[in-house]
């Protein structure tokens, strides 16, 4: 198996992101559950880069033309999921901020 440039770039990116996720965990930007989630994501990226042939049964089952198509579909689903979670968290923060402002305004009015 010959490793091409894009595979080297994907592996280098994944290793950097594994390290960065670990640093963010150590700095307490997020908890252990988030760390495990990101470690799994980037580890799967490394494995799928090194062993793309392992995904051919799934490619054939889904009637896709190439393994790359499978990765593109999975990537789009992942981005949509992360965007939705981000949206939900922003809405939650917005509600909390609005409540804090209302409580402060009522307190200052008294």
Q: CB within 8 A of 49, min separation 6: which ones?
A: 7, 10, 11, 14
CA distance 57 to 71: 14
Residue 1 has a pLDDT of 59
- Give backbone dihedrals phi and psi of 63, rounded to 5 degrees, phi first: 60, 45
- Asked if residue 24 lies in contact with residue 30, where contact means CB atoms within 8 angstroms, the answer is yes
Segments making up each domain of the chain, as ranges: 1-50, 68-110
Residue 45: other Cβ atoms inside 10 A: 19
| Mean pLDDT along residues 89-110 | 92
Q: Check residue 83 and give its pLDDT.
A: 95
Taking alpha carbons only, the member of 42, 43, 49, 44 closest to residue 1 is 49
Mean pLDDT of 68-91: 92
Q: CB of 28 within 8 A of CB of 21? A: no
């Amino acid at each position: 198996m010959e490793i091409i440039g894009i595979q080297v770039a994907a592996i280098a990116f994944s290793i950097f992101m594994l390290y960065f996720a670990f640093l963010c965990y150590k700095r307490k930007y997020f908890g252990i559950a988030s760390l495990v989630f990101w470690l799994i994501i980037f580890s799967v990226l490394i494995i799928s880069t090194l062993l793309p042939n392992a995904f051919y049964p799934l490619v054939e089952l889904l009637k896709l033309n190439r393994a790359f198509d499978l990765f593109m579909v999975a990537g789009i689903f992942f981005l949509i999921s992360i965007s939705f979670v981000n949206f939900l968290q922003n809405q939650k923060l917005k509600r909390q901020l609005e409540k804090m402002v209302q409580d402060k305004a009522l307190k200052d009015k008294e």
